[in-house]
A and B are shown apart, each in its own frame.
Chain A
Amino acid sequence: KQEVTQIPAALSVPEGENLVLNCSFTDSAIYNLQWFRQDPGKGLTSLLLIQSSQREQTSGRLNASLDKSSGRSTLYIAASQPGDSATYLCAGHILTGGGNKLTFGTGTQLKVEL
């Protein structure tokens, strides 16, 4: 059974700091890996999707990498801002007979302080 783990569970940093969120998975059968942001009382916003054939994706201040051989993905946030405060979830796309199933980690709760 595929498991996805995110460390740390919570992180507090001062504004302007660069930071890395970690995601590890137990099975290299993950196809794509998707990073989401979840704000309190709101749904999930897709940040980046890394295809299994890619090593990284970038969007603005965000950069996500994927290393299937080691079962790890990282989300790098440059020059953090208070507006980045949210819970960040990684999820692996598992190719099953039922198609596009996402297996989620339990998230990293990020707080960026002034």
Chain B
Amino acid sequence: EAQVTQNPRYLITVTGKKLTVTCSQNMNHEYMSWYRQDPGLGLRQIYYSMNVEVTDKGDVPEGYKVSRKEKRNFPLILESPSPNQTSLYFCASSLTSGGARPTDTQYFGPGTRLTVL
């Protein structure tokens, strides 16, 4: 089944304890992206990757890191989590990334609910 998977689905942690949220897709998609969703603010892009070894900042990258060493995986790293990073996180992928074609349709993972105490 074609899908985007994220792990863990739920995580409660404490301030300053490094964590990684994994994202994997099995559709051979070039483009992958991370979003966070907060009440009243909608979804905002954190980081994106056009292809392996190519990553760049989105709208709200502060406090996050990413890497893209393999095409299928795009982990999100919080080196020193803080309470303002408590949020619902989504990973997404698309076959292409031009923004003007049907193959730019983005597919989303199930989300990771993170609470930082």
Answer yes or no: are A and B bound together in one complex: yes
* A contacts, CB < 8 Å to B: 4, 31-32, 34, 36, 41-46, 49, 51-52, 89, 91, 93-96, 98-102, 104-107
A100, B42: Cα distance in complex, Å: 18
Q: Once the chains bind, are B111 and A89 in contact (CB under 8 Å)?
A: no
A99, B33: Cα distance in complex, Å: 11
Q: Once the chains bind, are A98 and B104 in contact (CB under 8 Å)?
A: no
A54 to B, closest residue via Cβ: B102
Is B12 interfacial (CB 8 A cutoff)? no
What are 19 of the A-B contact pairs (CB < 8 Å)? A4-B42, A31-B100, A32-B104, A42-B110, A51-B102, A93-B99, A94-B99, A96-B99, A98-B48, A99-B31, A99-B50, A100-B31, A100-B97, A100-B106, A101-B58, A102-B43, A104-B43, A106-B41, A106-B42
Number of B interface residues in the complex (CB < 8 A): 32
Please name all residues of chain A whose beta carbon is closer than 8 Å to the beta carbon of B102 when the two chains form the complex: 49, 51
Minimum Cβ distance to chain A for residue B45 (Å): 6
Partner of B100, one of A46, A51, A107: A51
Please name all residues of chain B whose beta carbon is closer than 8 Å to the beta carbon of A52 when the two chains form the complex: 100
A52 to B, closest residue via Cβ: B100
- Contact A49:B105 (CB < 8 A) given known A42-B110, A101-B45: yes
A49, B111: Cα distance in complex, Å: 21
A27, B13: Cα distance in complex, Å: 39
Minimum Cβ distance to chain B for residue A63 (Å): 17
Partner of A95, one of B56, B98, B108: B98
